[in-house]
Structure formats: structure tokens, C-alpha cells
Amino acid sequence: MSAPRVKRSAPSDKVAPQRKSGVRINRLHKWDLDLNEAKAVQRGLSKLVRLDSLGGEPRFIAGADVAVSPSGSLRFARGRVSADATPTRVFAAVVVWDAETRAVVETATRIGETRFPYIPGLLSFREAPTLLEAFSALSTRPDAAIFDGQGIAHPRRFGLACHVGLWLDIPSVGCAKSRLIGTHADLPQDRGAQVRLVDDGEVIGSVVRTRTNVKPVFVSPGHRIDFASATRLVLKCAARFRLPEPTRLADQLSKRAKASGPHDV
């Protein structure tokens, strides 16, 4: 009857597209799209974003950031994006940080290239591909990830943090250094102060002061996390500097990768 339980080899902790919390991405859309196709993809995938409350405190936090080589000129032609003639180098870095010991657990960098220009609102189509490759290089699966960009605080409620978070089906948070959309009230100068970021009558994130007398950051849920948890996580990781430790370290790593070796692609 009960056949000896074949001890299922622990599924590699490799970070790869998952299918949890009922979210499923049956077909991975391509990244080489034109302006309207990209927006359509965002509108469609935004419906899969879930602002669940994560169970328990995340311990291993991944920080992700990208450094790019100077991009050429972008141009549009009949609604299509005619990217630079010469692809832009993309140096993606991911740093897994242990919130308990406050130490780096693992890092991964990946060099790629893109012809998709930077267009406000379509950042993920330029950075996500290489970023996903970096995540795939990790041997451990982070409990959550913080991105250097917006989550749902986006025109179509689908910023970089949502895109990558949904793709990897991992709790994700968007922590941008500046505003993309939305309005908010002034906030106190004290660390920890926060006000809601609103767009079209709905709350899309929060403006958070991580350091006294320092410009605030824009926090918004990416996927599988609620507003309160997102803000809490950012404040927890950003106790010393303006940016959360994971993304701050990823920022340094990506820039080092760019400076030390624009080698293989």
C-alpha cells in the first residue's frame, strides 16, 4: 500500500519561476516588445499581483539593482521603440541579506544587454531580463526581495518590483529613490515618518523617511506583501542609511561589476 516514501530530493533552492499562491504564469512573455505591447503586458499581469500579508517575518532579504553602460539615443517610430543601435550593457546584482545577523549571505551578478530604452513606466522591460538571470544564479531562495524602483506605485500598477516578484513568485517590495506617479502630503522630518502615496483616489504606496532630515523613499508593494509589511520591511532594513541595506549593497555590487569588468555578456 503505502509504498516507501521516496524521499523527494529537496527541490533545488534555485530561484526560478514558481507557481504558488494561486498565481500562474503559463507563458513567459517575451521582453522584446514595442511600446503598446509592453503596456498591454503590464495591464494583464497587474491583475495577478496579490497584496497578501506575508506569514511571519522574512529573514533572508534579497536586494536587487542594476547599473548600465551609457545608453545611446532612443527614438520612436510609428509607436515602435527603435532602441539604440548598440545594445546597452546591463550589470545586474542581487544581494541576499540576513535580517537576523545583518550579514550578507550570498550575492550574484549577471551581465546582459538590452536594446530597450529607458522609458518611465517601462523600466522592467529594460532591467528585468538580466535581473532575473541574476536571481537564477542564487543557490538560496530569499524570503523577500526589495527592488530599486516602484511596485504598484505605477501608472498601470505594475512596476519593476511587481514584474520580477510575480515572475519569481516571491514577496517583493518596491523602494524607489524618487516618485513616478502619485501625490502625497508633506511628512515630518523624523525617521520613521510616513504618508500615503495616492493616485486616482487610491493608495498606491507610502512615502517613508528612513533617516531624519533626509529625503524620503517611495515604498510600494510588489507582490505577495501588503502595504504595512512593505514599509515595515524597508524601515527594518534601512536602519543606518537612507536605502535598505540589501538594495544599497546591490547598488554597490552592480557598479563594481560594471567598473571592474565589462567583459562577457
Partner DNA sequence: GCGACAG
Partner DNA sequence: ATCTTGTCGC
Contacts with DNA: how many residues (CB under 7 A)? Answer: 31
Query: Using CB under 7 A, which of the segments 23-31, 45-53, 129-137, 157-165 binds DNA?
Result: 157-165
The three cell numbers locating residue 258: 560594471
41 binds DNA (CB under 7 A): no
Per-residue CA distances from 188 to 54, 153, 204, 218 (Å): 28, 21, 20, 15
Give 141 or 204: the residue with its C-beta nearer to DNA: 204
Q: Tell me how far, at minimum, the Cβ of 36 lies from DNA, in Å.
A: 15
Query: Using CB under 7 A, which of the segments 98-106, 155-163, 193-201, 232-240 binds DNA?
Result: 155-163
Ranges within 134-153 binding DNA (CB under 7 A): 148-150
- C-alpha triplet 26, 225, 66: angle, nearest 5°: 75
Which three-class secondary structure state does DSSP give residue 75?
strand
CA 152 to chain CA centroid, Å, is 11
Instruction: Mark residues 98-137: x for contact with DNA by CB under 7 A, - for none.
Output: --------------------x-xxxxx-------------
Q: How far apart are CA 126 and CA 128, in angstroms?
A: 6
Q: Tell me how far, at minimum, the Cβ of 153 lies from DNA, in Å.
A: 8
Give 108 or 122: the residue with its C-beta nearer to DNA: 122
- Which single residue is written with the C-alpha cell 536571481? 135
Q: Tell me how far, at minimum, the Cβ of 2 lies from DNA, in Å.
A: 50
- Which single residue is written with the C-alpha cell 536602519? 239
Crossing angle of helices 35-45 and 160-168, in 10° steps, is 60
Q: How many CB atoms lie within 10 A of CB 136?
A: 15
The three cell numbers locating residue 71: 545608453
Q: Tell me how far, at minimum, the Cβ of 100 lies from DNA, in Å.
A: 27
Instruction: Mark residues 60-99: x for contact with DNA by CB under 7 A, - for none.
Output: -----xxxxxxx----------------------------
Query: Using CB under 7 A, which of the segments 19-27, 137-145, 179-187, 197-205 binds DNA?
Result: 179-187
DSSP string, 88-147: EEEEEEEEEEETTTTEEEEEEEEEEEE-PPP-TT-THHHHHHHHHHHHHT-SS--SEEEE
Give 141 or 149: the residue with its C-beta nearer to DNA: 149
Query: Which of 177, 191, 236, 256 is the binder for DNA (CB under 7 A)?
Result: 177
Give 61 or 160: the residue with its C-beta nearer to DNA: 160
**Which positions lie near DNA, rule CB under 7 A?**
65-71, 118, 120-124, 148-150, 154, 159-161, 174, 176-181, 212-213, 255, 258
